[in-house]
Amino acid sequence: MNFRFGKLIILIFLFCMMTLTSAFAASCGNTPDLLEEILKRGKIRIGWINSKPFQYRNEKGELEGAFVNAGNMLGKELLKVEVEWVEAKWDTFIAGLQSGKYDVVISNVARRPNRAVSVWFTKPVVIGSQTFLVRKDKNIKKLADLDKPGSTVVVRLGSAAHITYTENEKDFFKNARIKSVAPPALPEQEVASGRAVAMGAGSIETQQIARANPDWAEVVVLPESPRSVGAGFVVPQCQHNLLHVMDTFADTLIETQFLVKQAEIYPDLVAGSIVAPTRLIGDLPR
């Protein structure tokens, strides 16, 4: 009797999985081909999120950065279409992609499972690591110096650090409180004022802030910090053709050492630490 019941459960599970798979396939099958639409309209709309040196506005208000150069190359040289840049935000870029505000997102977006539920990612283009911006006068050297009752660690709302410490590694801090800050507020100001003991963010961002504020700021890298995560480009779900193009584009950037060359333009890009160590099929050992 138990064997028959167990077999029945397995059959029901398999039937449900087949039904869900068929429903998903049918749903994707009814989705218009976005790549075809892009080529027909002669324009690709690229979402970008402020994050220097990947994509940002310079003092003249002009959009620039390593991934801006990459996106322009994708549109003008590879797809032969016009490029329209549409500003997005870390906490709403998925909604903007799903609503059709832009076709793809070309920014340093961390590939996270919770994000992958709603959108599709290309292979990693860069890697990064989580660090902490702190005040020099606080003498912070280890995790215990941060993780104290009453301490606050601030993160940018919707950032990789926000997701890391509130979802994926929510038990990393046992005592300190995580506080998310939304634009136009600046999380580094919370640290500068003493309202927060540290700002959690990627290494490039914290190093930039520390260089701009050498009188008080420094960067701490803890051995316990979450491991580096890959960042890729983002496309809407069910867009197989567009994902294939964007994945091939990511391969092209890696193969041609695009970011290594961009590091000559943008010193904040430390090529050896942020370029994804991805070998292409057929690459010879080095």
Domains defined for the chain, CATH in brackets: 34-127+230-274 (3.40.190.10), 130-220 (3.40.190.10)
Helix, strand, coil shares, percent, the chain, to 5: 40, 25, 35
- Measured CA to CA, the distance from residue 236 to residue 226 in angstroms comes to 28
Task: Determine the pLDDT at residue 279.
Answer: 52
Query: Which among 222, 217, 210, 219 is positioned nearest to 172, based on CA atoms?
Result: 222
DSSP string, 19-38: HHHHHHHHHHHTS--HHHHH
Distance separating the N- and C-terminal Cα atoms of the chain: 60
pLDDT of the residue at 281:
45
- Ramachandran area for residue 212 (φ above 0: left; ψ -120 to 50: alpha; else beta): alpha
Identify each DSSP E strand in the chain by its residue range: 43-49, 56-57, 63-64, 82-88, 104-110, 119-121, 126-128, 130-135, 152-156, 177-181, 198-202, 217-220, 229-236
Task: Read off the tokens for 194.
Answer: 């003493």
Q: Identify the band that residue 126 occupies on the pLDDT scale cut at 50, 70 and 90.
A: confident
Q: Which residue has better confidence, 181 or 268?
A: 181
pLDDT digits (tens, 9 = 90+) for 23-78: 444 468 788 999 999 999 999 999 999 988 899 999 999 999 999 999 999 999 99
Q: Report how far residue 286's alpha carbon sits from residue 284's, in angstroms, rounded to the nearest whole number.
A: 6
Contact indicator for 12, 50 with CB cutoff of 8 Å = no
pLDDT value of residue 202: 82
Hey, how many other C-beta atoms are within 10 angstroms of the C-beta on 220? 18
Kindly provide the b/e burial profile for residues 226-245, where b requires at least 16 CB atoms within 10 angstroms of the residue's own CB: bebbbbbbbbbbbbeebbeb
Tell me what the pLDDT averaged over the chain comes to.
85
pLDDT of residue 222: 86
Q: What is the rounded CA–CA span in Å between residue 164 and residue 177?
A: 14
pLDDT digits (tens, 9 = 90+) for 133-178: 999 999 999 999 999 999 999 999 988 888 889 988 889 999 999 9
